[in-house]
Structure 1
């Protein structure tokens, strides 16, 4: 076996079903080794997409997704996607090719200091220097990526560790110099280097599956939180994506939230935890609810910009925080009760100690009345006349068309933010968005990973037309690999989320205007199905046609021409 086979052996032992990649000579043995062992190799058109797809696999399966990219620019192309995974706390593995061990720092093709580039953006990074190190280092990467606060891990694999020994010996022999004492000394040095490089490689063997248990919150803050709930009259619960890291137990988490009976807001990857229409879930007026609450529990949600750095929670309220991260648990505002550990496990244990939920019925009803008023206003805005399609009404019709097995991916600004007010994920782990880093361009990779993880599900990717530009070439990836996603591009010919604020504040739309491109024709050029939609009377019919084409195994793009609305007037982009 060569080093690429050893990588593949570890991936197979860790239950990795897919390897996402963009090919390169530095990593070819990994791709061939994976294919030979039944690991499906999915090659994308950009390295960032490969990492985004691995990230989606991590979020939906609870197991690290894996991407392999070639050296130099192949690796540097991943940095944004890796950083997004780090901030979203996704456990993934990035494998990076590198120049041969003897050629580092000597001007070899695509040779850069890759460790300096990646180390700030990952939990753990290492370079294999001998073939025998590949297995233990890669297994260490799987362990570190999953434990504690999850995140990406990076393993650099030099080219001469991946190819078989006879090939590498021939390559080094060809560079062994001429005759004379200098040539002999060089050959002796290379021989010793090769002996060290391959020494012990024949004893390398992949070990068992590596899984991490969620960190258990201590009993003391749990008891204090239960006592605070006993005293509370207007408690409020906010659940974030970190609470769903333990994907195997999301059903138990949903049951615990129901048992607690607190009004709850779900953010980012936690959306859909309680299903489509649960009476405990509030969707609107979160800031007002936080200002009225006398007890606030943040489960896997830090006090970052989304909560105005903690200022949305009134000072007199009891503030309880459960988080795996010691830094996040006290970010910007120190909680009255801090439970360092898995927030999902914290809520499951708290539910066993909580008082009867009926005592907060009046508070829940008050928040439901606010939600109903906001929903009525949204309905009126959906009916407002608009050139082409009213984006609010389009989102309402997508909502009506979604089946229970759908997965939603959001990649965009104004259009996706509008969708988040209207479209409701059907269950837990059925909503993917970038997370707090706010990265545009995640959509194609997320949709790719989601459809591979859940081939029976309808995967709907909602794109802004600006964001879609990052991943448009991945339509080719969908076609080549038979990935039948439904992409909806909200085409309003602009970076509208930025334009709203920039035009209002600065009186100039420079840099925010796009063309009303025929994206459906672009899709057809890649071999996907392209549907143009600019007549609201045809929306239902077009959505039904897209679903039919996807069920037949064909990726579909709906180019939805949007009119301008004031639905998100006053929203800010930073």
Structure 2
């Protein structure tokens, strides 16, 4: 029996338990798409290739496993680059299949002939071209393995159209068409007893310890273990980026909420007072102020636990302990040690002080809410928090909008908060496709996108995808009619502004034009009625166009501008 390369792609995806593929139709991938229709794999077609990658990203983050996107070559591929690079720096495991020209036409001036892998190789975990259909199963197997093993990230597999169309005899295949555990972990190094004993000793000696939980704890699925473990540790715990919600902000006494320094919330004061900082799976980058002085300082001690030692902070500080170990293995060993030895490390007075700092910060923030015509973001987000379902997935996009929402919205379940600009690439605009991908990954949960008006414009056409494929999400546009971050940066650094104002656009009406529902919220006094009018579950994508005070700048915006000001 003969089989085409395209059929082998679909067969391999099925055997790797892929049930959904994101993409944008093009000639070079059409041989695959026509076979997807009969495979049981659902295809979601976007309006832009960048959005296809972002949608797969959102799906992957919620599922905590690989997602697949495919785009045609040439401009289809170049349109997707931002999404791939974003996934690389955010460590999201994606398998991206790209088309290309017929092999015999390479380097002859063929339409869309270009060195695609040369453009993206440095920003993937692995990239390769398949030159023979018989190698498709083998190389897709490698792709899933490499995307998920070790530090996660995207891989790109280029398959020329002639390879997809060519038929081969099934009996000639080597038998590599096997199943791959897409959650494979080849670096599950175990924490030694000496390591655990030293950790407990340092934690016991500390007067003001804090624990920071990062992305590794999320992908390692540590939430159940942490629930039991923290019953032995009465210590302030902060969750960061993908780890938000892995310990509930609302239901666990030890959890002090968002630990990402970028939001400039109460975490900055508490962390600066700590005498021991325990960093579990958190990378050192600008989102954490590079773990540098003055917030983090040489009077503190540090324990750093990660599989990926190159990402660890504090290596320049003398009082730093580094353990290269799988975070799940470490936390499991620690839990067993504390339970078997009936140990409980109590830092009740320090935890109470941290709680007081948090309450004081938000009390002071509430006092900034004054009667106004336009909507105050503190008032709006506090009201929203009281309305939404406890497990609503929150996608945060923009700059000022993202900082406000990251500061004020709580996370109570793992994977509940998706930061559109996560990682060091930091693009604005992925929010809507990320939200749609998240909804497809968790159809039983509400998904809410909180986005700036500038960011929303990048992928606004995906409202059509939402309606066409019946993927209902709630979109809240933090509409301050400006590129908020750039506006404040220019005001602070240059005492003048240019190119930062946006038109007075009715995003509610744009949503209605695509077939969704729209609500305009113009006045602060209308906030309660607008939010209480939201019906759950969301029947169709809806947009609340919220006219915010144009000068209501978040603490995170001020913090980020301080960072930019230091760039000299």
**TM-score > 0.5 by shorter chain:** yes
Does the C-alpha gap of structure 1 residues 567 and 74 become closer, same or farther in structure 2, counting only changes over 3 Å?
closer
Q: CA deviation at 1:516?
A: 2.0
1:304 aligns with 2:285: yes
Q: Report SS of the residue matched to 1:120.
A: helix
Q: CA deviation at 1:551?
A: 2.9
1:289 aligns with 2:296: no
Query: What whole-Å deviation, never above 9, does each CA across 1:70-100 have from its counterpart, x for those lacking one?
Result: 0011111122211111111111101010111
- Aligned twin of 1:221: 195
Q: Report SS of the residue matched to 2:535.
A: helix
1:314 aligns with 2:263: no
Please show how residues 391-540 of structure 1 align to structure 2 within 5 Å: 391-433=377-419, 434-437=421-424, 438-540=426-528
Query: What whole-Å deviation, never above 9, does each CA across 1:119-170 have from its counterpart, x for those lacking one?
Result: 10100111101000101000000011111111111111010011243xxxxx
Query: What whole-Å deviation, never above 9, does each CA across 1:348-367 have from its counterpart, x for those lacking one?
Result: 33233358445200110111
- Aligned twin of 1:162: 164
In 2, the alpha carbon distance for the partners of 1:53 and 1:255 equals: 34
In 2, the alpha carbon distance for the partners of 1:298 and 1:413 equals: 26
Structure with higher helix content: 1
Please show how residues 97-112 of structure 1 align to structure 2 within 5 Å: 97-112=99-114
Q: CA deviation at 1:198?
A: 7.6
Q: CA deviation at 1:490?
A: 0.4
Q: CA deviation at 1:222?
A: 3.5
Instruction: Report if aligned partners of 2:233, 2:345 keep a CA contact under 8 Å in 1.
Output: no
Instruction: Report if aligned partners of 1:132, 1:200 keep a CA contact under 8 Å in 2.
Output: no
Instruction: Report if aligned partners of 1:64, 1:146 keep a CA contact under 8 Å in 2.
Output: yes
Q: Report SS of the residue matched to 2:296.
A: coil
Q: Report SS of the residue matched to 1:52.
A: helix
- Aligned twin of 1:377: 364
Does the C-alpha gap of structure 1 residues 262 and 297 become closer, same or farther in structure 2, counting only changes over 3 Å?
same
In 2, the alpha carbon distance for the partners of 1:246 and 1:523 equals: 38
Quick check: which has more Rg, 1 or 2? 1
Unpaired segments ≥5 residues, structure 2: 258-264
In 2, the alpha carbon distance for the partners of 1:398 and 1:384 equals: 18
In 2, the alpha carbon distance for the partners of 1:309 and 1:461 equals: 28
Unpaired segments ≥5 residues, structure 1: 166-196
Of 36, 39, 44 in structure 2, the residue corresponding to residue 37 of structure 1 is 39
1:565 aligns with 2:552: yes
Q: Report SS of the residue matched to 1:462.
A: strand
Does the C-alpha gap of structure 1 residues 492 and 560 become closer, same or farther in structure 2, counting only changes over 3 Å?
same
Does the C-alpha gap of structure 1 residues 503 and 317 become closer, same or farther in structure 2, counting only changes over 3 Å?
same
1:341 aligns with 2:325: yes
Instruction: Report if aligned partners of 1:451, 1:483 keep a CA contact under 8 Å in 2.
Output: yes
Query: What whole-Å deviation, never above 9, does each CA across 1:45-80 have from its counterpart, x for those lacking one?
Result: 111111111112222112201100100111111222
Q: TM-score by structure 2 length?
A: 0.90
- Aligned twin of 2:135: 133
- Aligned twin of 1:264: 237
Aligned length: 539
Q: TM-score by structure 1 length?
A: 0.89
Of 341, 355, 358 in structure 2, the residue corresponding to residue 368 of structure 1 is 355
Q: Report SS of the residue matched to 2:544.
A: strand
In 2, the alpha carbon distance for the partners of 1:266 and 1:346 equals: 17
Instruction: Report if aligned partners of 1:304, 1:332 keep a CA contact under 8 Å in 2.
Output: no
Q: CA deviation at 1:310?
A: 2.4
1:239 aligns with 2:227: no
Does the C-alpha gap of structure 1 residues 313 and 356 become closer, same or farther in structure 2, counting only changes over 3 Å?
farther
In 1, the alpha carbon distance for the partners of 2:231 and 2:504 equals: 45
Query: What RMSD, in angstroms, separates the aligned Cα atoms of the two structures?
Result: 2.1
Q: Report SS of the residue matched to 2:131.
A: coil
In 1, the alpha carbon distance for the partners of 2:552 and 2:492 equals: 14
Q: CA deviation at 1:221?
A: 3.5
Q: CA deviation at 1:425?
A: 2.0
In 2, the alpha carbon distance for the partners of 1:45 and 1:254 equals: 42
Q: Report SS of the residue matched to 2:560.
A: coil
Does the C-alpha gap of structure 1 residues 385 and 54 become closer, same or farther in structure 2, counting only changes over 3 Å?
same
1:208 aligns with 2:195: no
Query: What whole-Å deviation, never above 9, does each CA across 1:376-421 have from its counterpart, x for those lacking one?
Result: 112212x323331011111111111111231100011101211112
Please show how residues 66-105 of structure 1 align to structure 2 within 5 Å: 66-105=68-107
